[in-house]
Amino acid sequence: MQIRVLIALGCVASAFVTAAEAQERRAPQAEGGTFERRLVTRGDEEHAHRAALGVSTGVSGTMRDTLGLLITSVTRGSPAEKAGLEEGNRIAAINSVNLRANAADVDDGDMSGALARRLTRELGKVKPGDEVELRVYRDGRTQALRVKTADSDTLFRRGDMKHVTEADMRERPVIGIGIGNGGNRRDTLGVLVVSVSDSSPAARAGLEEGNRIAAINGTSLRVSLEDAGDFALSQARAQRLRRTVESLKPGDNVTLKVYGNGQWRDVTLKVARAGDLPRQRGLFYFGEGSMMTMPPMPPMPAMPPMAPMIRGLERIRITPPASLRQFERVRVSAPMPSMPISM
């Protein structure tokens, strides 16, 4: 009995150590976490004040990752924004430490977060306010930049993650479109318009489903030909459009460069208030106030009454003919479409 008690106590202690180790291992992902921006603490206040650039990074799982870590978003007012970094740029090195993926590791899922953690470790070696030297790939070439870091606590404050109410959503600026991306070569034309709300500024300006928005107020939303098929970068372009619209006010004018029916045209429209547009069904709010919209489900047809069970057939086993057995393990699944963002 005494031996069993000691073993049980040992298992409990081991569980606590494992949890502590897991917390310690999760902590170094604050700056380089894929598609996330969060402040990670380890129960110690000094770890909250880390040097940060103000970027979110990710990988595309393609050979483009050999050029460096992909920047998926840039925090407003951050050192990265002041240095001119943009979504779609790639960080090839920090303080001469390589952040480029090895060609053999590009499609290795276990290696996808290694470079982001490396970036986090290097930032952990400097203090907020110190300069770091970055090698950044953009516009087809690599250039060196010196960036002064900031305190992560000022960039990623928990207070910024406020609760968004329905009233807030009704006051948000919108132009009346749903956007998405296909992660294919068509994204080189711009962000895909997947829906247009009735009586919206976009509808009055003649925008249609299937159009592509190549620029907003002169800011490009197109994916370069070299990055065609990079879904992460296509998604970053869609998020750039969303953030730009959210930075405006109802009544502001906005200019879009639109591709449709084989032609380019410039469209100027007036931003509306979300509450002034017809309410759509199936809206879900998420993240920083974005809306995810899903089409209403069609009504389910009535089920026919079940036929009475014939007990004499209960134990009959039906075996498919040999000619059909080769298809028994074939599973067909439809591709999962990307969910549109309504704005």
Record the pTM. 0.51
In a domain, 6, yes or no: no
47: containing domain: 27-160
- Side-chain-facing half-sphere of 142: CA atoms under 13 Å: 13
In degrees to the nearest 10, what's the CA dihedral of 124, 126, 130, 132? -80
pLDDT of residue 319: 55
Buried b (16+ CB within 10 A) or exposed e, 221-234: bbbeeebebbbbbb
The pLDDT-based confidence of 95 (bands split at 50, 70, 90) is very high
- Side-chain-facing half-sphere of 103: CA atoms under 13 Å: 0
**Overall number of domains in the chain:** 2
Residues 150 and 232 in one domain: no
Helix or strand holding residue 73 (H, E): strand 69-74
In a domain, 318, yes or no: no
Residues 115 and 212 in one domain: no
Residues 73 and 94 in one domain: yes
Cα 62 from Cα 231, distance rounded (Å): 10
pLDDT above 80 (res 168): no
Tell me which DSSP letter residue 275 carries.
G
Give the residue among 284, 313, 281, 311 at the shortest CA–CA distance from 298: 281
Residues 172 and 127 in one domain: no
Residues 224 and 176 in one domain: yes
Q: In whole numbers, what is the pLDDT of the chain averaged over residues?
A: 73
Residues 119 and 184 in one domain: no
Of 160, 183, 214, which closes a domain? 160
Residues 60 and 129 in one domain: yes
